[in-house]
Amino acid sequence: MRRFLPLLLVALVAAGTTLAAATLSVRWWLAAGPALALTCLGGRDLLQRRRTVLRNHPLVGRLRRPGEQAPPGGARPDGQEFLVPSLWPVEAAEEAPVVRVGGPDCAQPYDMALLNVSAMSFGALSSHAVLALNRGAALGRFAQDTGEGGLSEYHLRGGGDLIWEIGTGYFGCRSIDGGFDVREFADKAALPEVKCVSLKLSQGAAPGGGGVLPGVKVSAEIARERKAPVGEPVVSPPCHRVFSTPRELVLFLARLRESAGGKPVGFKLCVGARREFLAVCRAMVAEGVAPDFVVVDGSEGGTGAAPTGFAGRLGMPLTEGLITVHNALVGVGLRGRVRIGASGRVATGFDIVRRLVQGADYTNAARAMMLAVGCVRAGRCHTGACPAGVATQDPLRTRSLNVAAQAEQVRRYQRETVREAVSVMAALGVREPRGLTPAHLVRRAGPGTVRSYAELYEWLAPGELLAGPPQSWAADWKAADPDSFR
């Protein structure tokens, strides 16, 4: 309630000076007039529903200086990388392309948009923010990843398509002892809103560690959702309990797909050692089982759960991670049945096209979607005191977020960003993502020197690892063990 004290004090000053003007001297109107005007302005801030910061911080919110305008992801393009336009561009496609996710073992494939809402849990975000994102996804016909916090009523209420993420804490399908409850999973995976299931192995900015929800954000509602004590931090284990080897991982994915009624199932990771991902690929080949998709999270991705020393320092950046996963799947002959999603500071049409060139089939955005739903970058996500009502469990702060208005903002942001990506592809002479090649993206390698991605990176041929890996891959391929992550 302290955030309302400035308005209360101004109102008290206005009342006192008005009384003095009426009973003592008209000169008091010199003070009463401005005080009354400020009181009216603060009341308007409190009652309006367009700007959540002003509603949560009447009067004081007006002192916040807007930052320099920049793309929602943060940094502006620095010119170190650029796409190569064609002298013979094509007309942009009228309909935004979609990506069919679902391999031969999938009974219910899903058409994924080029840009979707990345993993953000109810708990990390407020109920209103989750609901606004979901309604925005429903309006724009794209998907929302639930994050590892479970399937909440706010994910289900808005009618949007969901990618249900299962983390190491198994929230939403958690047994009494903290393990995986297959019956609860099957019941929830059967819900029509759930279109895909994603198993989280690791996440950008915090690979090697489980997610953390600070105790200040663990309300009674969150505690019920996650089967945890109220007010205490919820820490997910660093590893899964239901498998311990690459082979067991791919077999568990097959089990999830069967339990989900044949809906697409995949996993998310921030790539570390190339050898480890190759071990998973070896297990896929050995068992004849493959996921329907893999989401690659870049180490530069943002998360409020990440220790400060982890962010951007553990795991591969998205560029290297994408190219590694794409090449590995191509090299074992599975790329045609496994789709790749990219997540990590995706914000603009250029970002989408850049990631498609590097090996992705579609992209996910978290930070940009938070900005679309009203985030003001206050940097207070971990405190529960988000001034915009986005990353808080304080009901008084949450109520300020206008779900209908922010859902429309989310829809509009996704639509315009995808349109920009389609226009960029057209400028390259390409109407669909499959027409993009590594030659379309160029990086400055030094003064007066530029190289395309076709020249900078090695690109494997289909089945090349199985036929005989090139020297640059031979050591990792030989060391990759389908029965050990180490």
pTM of the model: 0.87
Predicted local distance difference test score (pLDDT) of residue 450: 92
Residues whose CB is less than 8 angstroms from the CB of residue 156 and which lie 6 or more positions away in sequence, other chains included: 134, 162, 191, 193
- Using alpha carbons, select from 452, 456, 472 the residue that is nearest to residue 464: 472
Predicted local distance difference test score (pLDDT) of residue 213: 87
Burial 330-348, CB ≥16 within 10 A → b, else e: bbbbbbebbbbbbbbbbbb
Range 306-309, long-range pairs (CB < 8 A, 24+ positions) = 306/205, 306/206, 306/209, 307/206, 307/209
pLDDT in tens, 233-277: 888 888 999 999 999 999 999 999 999 999 999 999 999 999 999
Residues whose CB is less than 8 angstroms from the CB of residue 485 and which lie 6 or more positions away in sequence, other chains included: 244, 245, 246, 276, 279
Residues whose CB is less than 8 angstroms from the CB of residue 12 and which lie 6 or more positions away in sequence, other chains included: none
Beta bridge mates, 484: 481
Beta bridge mates, 450: 444
Predicted local distance difference test score (pLDDT) of residue 305: 45
pLDDT in tens, 111-166: 999 999 999 999 999 999 999 999 999 999 999 999 999 999 999 999 999 999 99
Predicted local distance difference test score (pLDDT) of residue 66: 45
Token duo for residue 405? 């208005």
Ranges under pLDDT 70 in the chain: 1-3, 7, 26, 42, 45-57, 59-79, 205-210, 302-313
3-state secondary structure of 484: strand
